Amino acid sequence: MDVDQAHSRLGANYNGHPDEDTVETTFSESEEEEFGPVISLADGYVDGDEEEPLFTPPLYIQRYCQVEETIEDFIAGGNVVTSLVDLGCAELKFLIRAKNGSKFRRIVGVDQDEFLLGSNSRKINPGVFEMINKRDIPLKMEVYAGDATVPDARLVNVDVVSAIELIEHMDEPTHVPLVSTVFGVMQPLLAIFTTPNVEYNPLFPGGSIQQRRHWDHRFEWTREQLQAWGNDVVKLHPYTVKYTGVGEGPPGTAETHGYCSQTAIFTRDPAVPRTNHSITVLPHKLMREVDYPWAPPKTLEEEILEIMDAECYSQAKDLKEAEENAGRFNQEWFTFSVADLYEARWRLQSMLKPPSHLDYIRRALGKSRDESLKYDAENDTVSYQLLGPEHYDEDLYDDGPNIDMGNYDHLGRKMEMDQLVEELNDPEERDDDCWG
């Protein structure tokens, strides 16, 4: 097949990408006549997500995990990736997972449904935990309302593109501009497309190969059709492709029916430099962007000193209050043994193990330049000067994973626990199934 034939095979209006986990399955007779009947399963199955109850873990989780594992394998092969664009991001579920995995510095979601993005874009805001436990590299998250078939200068030469259950929601004539935009303009090092495998449909209760799984699916491909599309892509662009999937059927159906969800993985030829396109247009509408708090990783000595300072402050504050309750108001310096301080902090115990654990602490204390934290090597003790509240920086203990919640009480900066509890209890604020 030549290039012109490949162009014609690839197939312009992008019709959006509803979230199949929550969309209500309602459709008109004209829609059913145009696109074919929809599988109707037994009571108890969630409309618009009919296949999920049949798989453990749910099929959408299997898709996410496969995409994540593909990215991790690509990185393990020596490739450097720092940016990810998820096309058809819908309710941002995969976008939120992505920030918990590989060391991305930029994560972008694109979807045409502006209302859906407006309702969900707040999900990219960092939570309380992420504000306290800062990342060790920068991360910017962006959400755009826009057409996946239209190039945007902000999305050129990205590293990874994911399109999870997107293409079947697009009219086939839009596939030509989609391929041109993704592989010709965005030029990712890695692109991952997933889509339903129609050959699997007869394995659903009441299903057949003539039926679609969702009212908005414009089509559902066989394995041969997906491979024909993918093979046409690599005839036009410097990529290789391999095919796989998730959602295994009953024993004996692998050859006859394949996976429930099929995947095409495109890898760019590293010998072909990416083209520098002079694109200046910005058609996509920015819905939200967030820069996550971050700080360079601390050295072991810096972490030890931070924890020791926090524990000395905590214990000195308690002793000071006891002294004042007894009518004594003059003590500013308090002395603690290194061994006792180690035993008081679980974080130190998790970082440093016997028999050399105290030696690490002593070396760190010996290098301390903190005038209020003095180490006495002869007695193996630490003297700590408790100053007034005006001497403590507002962000003193707000930049690392070694923070103990009790310190916030002592500093007069108790965590906003109501907010934290709300985030933990709100299913919209979390995803229990974390990256890889």
pLDDT in tens, 308-344: 999 999 999 999 999 888 888 778 899 999 999 999 9
Residues 6+ apart with CB under 8 A from 215: 25, 26, 27, 31, 32, 35, 38, 48
Mean pLDDT in residue range 173-178: 96
Amino acid at 205: P
Quick one: angle between helices 3-10 and 223-236, nearest 10? 130
In 189-336, alpha helices (H): 223-236, 254-257, 300-325
Tokens of 119: 């309702």
Cα separation, 20 vs 8, in Å, equals: 30
β-pairing, 381-385 vs 83-87, is unpaired
Mean pLDDT in residue range 62-66: 97
Amino acid at 51: E
* Domain locations in the chain as residue ranges: 3-295, 300-398
- pLDDT > 90? residue 87: yes
CB atoms within 10 A of CB 372: 17
Cα separation, 353 vs 355, in Å, equals: 6
The per-residue pLDDT for 28 is 39
Radius of gyration of the chain (CA): 28
- pLDDT > 70? residue 232: yes
- pLDDT > 60? residue 436: no
Note the pLDDT tens digit of each residue in 379-428: 999 999 988 665 555 444 444 433 333 333 333 333 344 444 444 555 44
Residue whose tokens read 């066989």 = 222
Evaluated on CA atoms 215, 218, 222, 227, the torsion sign reads negative
Q: Confidence class of residue 276 from pLDDT cuts 50, 70 and 90?
A: confident
Note the pLDDT tens digit of each residue in 201-216: 999 887 888 788 888 8
Query: Which residues, in sequence order, are bridge partners of residue 221?
Result: 197
- In three-state secondary structure terms, 245 is strand
- Sheet with 190-196: list strands edge to edge: 239-246, 261-268, 190-196, 160-164, 83-87, 106-111, 140-145, 285-291
The CATH code of domain 3-295 reads 3.40.50.150
Cα separation, 264 vs 266, in Å, equals: 6
Q: Confidence class of residue 101 from pLDDT cuts 50, 70 and 90?
A: confident
Q: Is 404 exposed, middle or buried (0-12, 13-18, 19+ CB in 10 A)?
A: middle
Residue with the larger pLDDT of the pair 194 and 279:
194
Mean pLDDT in residue range 178-204: 96
Mean pLDDT in residue range 119-125: 96
